[in-house]
Amino acid sequence: MLGFLINPNKFNKLTDIILKPLFYLTAVIFLIGLILIYYSPNDYQQGSTVRIMYIHVPSAWLALLTYSIMTIYSIFALAFRIPFGFIINSAVAPIGAVFTLVCLVSGSLWGKPMWGTWWVWDARLTSVAILFIVYLIIIFINYSFEKIEVKEKIIAIFVVIGSINLPIIKFSVDWWNTLHQPASISKLSSPSIDPSMLKPLIAMTLAFTFIGLIIAILRIKTEIILRKKSI
């Protein structure tokens, strides 16, 4: 049933079926998200600048989600010798890097009008910048070795070590004084975002996730073909 998660052939079969419907679904959700943003209200303090949130938060979420998935796959790939995990690492690292960059740039553009600065070295901003560098190193390792078996193991080990950064990013705003705000949405309390702003945020998060998923599927398929050729 869940064989497509570790078996390249089953993965190819399933994604051949769902790729097209997924594409249309994503287009619809993205359009709904954009319409909701257009009709979303201005914030009581930030005015219309608050709309940067609808790009900033989804890309931050995807930057962390991509790395979490890579971590899980790396652990299982190393422990249980599942080569599909290595394929995932090579395929999705650039996607995570791009979303991290989008997060950093949109955050910087948001910080200038609201905080009064493009960048400060507070714990949250610094840890996300480190995440971006970690992604870059993974991409560089990916292009730096001739032997695939050596390369993929080094990447997987590096991904697992780099995942120490994930809880630090998540809890940096709670553990230390930061200029960045604490989380607006958490499991323990009701969200401190008004429903009229939460709806477009959720729609955009879904849309971004699906866009990331489509690119990931295409890149994983490419990676499978490349590896079959090289063997």
Partner 1 sequence: MSLRFQRLFLILVTFVLLLAAVLLILFNSQKNIIFFYTPSELINEKPKVGQNIRIGGFVKEDSLKKITINSYEFEITDNNNAIFVYYNGILPDLFREGQGAVVDGIIEKPYTIKATNIYAKHDENYMPASIKEDLEKNNQWKKNYK
Interface residues toward partner 1, by CB under 8 A: 41-47, 50, 53, 75-76, 78-81, 113-117, 120-123, 160-161, 163-164, 167-168, 175-179, 181-184, 192-194, 196-197
Q: Between residues 101 and 183, which has the closer beta carbon with respect to partner 1?
A: 183
Q: Minimum CB separation from partner 1 for residue 173, in Å? A: 9
**Residue 192 tokens, joined:** 């401190």
Taken in order 101, 103, 106, 107, the sign of the CA dihedral is negative
181 φ, ψ to 5°?
Answer: -70, 155
How near is the Cβ of 114 to partner 1 at its closest, in Å?
6
Residue number, 5 or 179, with CB nearest to partner 1: 179
The residue (of 115 and 140) whose beta carbon lies closer to partner 1 is 115
In the bound state with partner 1, the residue whose beta carbon lies nearer, of 156 and 211, is 156
Of residues 73, 80, 85, the one with CA closest to residue 8: 85
- We find the least distance from the C-beta atom of residue 12 to partner 1, in angstroms, to be 25
Closer CB to partner 1, residue 144 or residue 175?
175
Is residue 47 classed as helix, strand or coil in its secondary structure? strand
CA distance 156 to 146: 16
- At position 52, the amino acid (one-letter code) is I
Please, what is the minimum distance in Å from the beta carbon of residue 179 to partner 1? 6
State which amino acid sits at residue 71.
T
Q: For the CB of residue 23, give the shortest distance to partner 1 in the complex, in Å.
A: 32
CB of 39 to partner 1, least distance (A): 11
Instruction: Extract the tokens encoding 44.
Output: 């009581």
Nearer to partner 1, 15 or 40 (CB): 40
DSSP annotation string for 94-138: HHHHHHHHHHHHHHHHHHHHHTS-S----HHHHHHHHHHHHHHHH
96 neighbors 67 (Cβ within 8 angstroms): yes
CA distances from 3 to 14, 70, 226 (A): 10, 18, 21
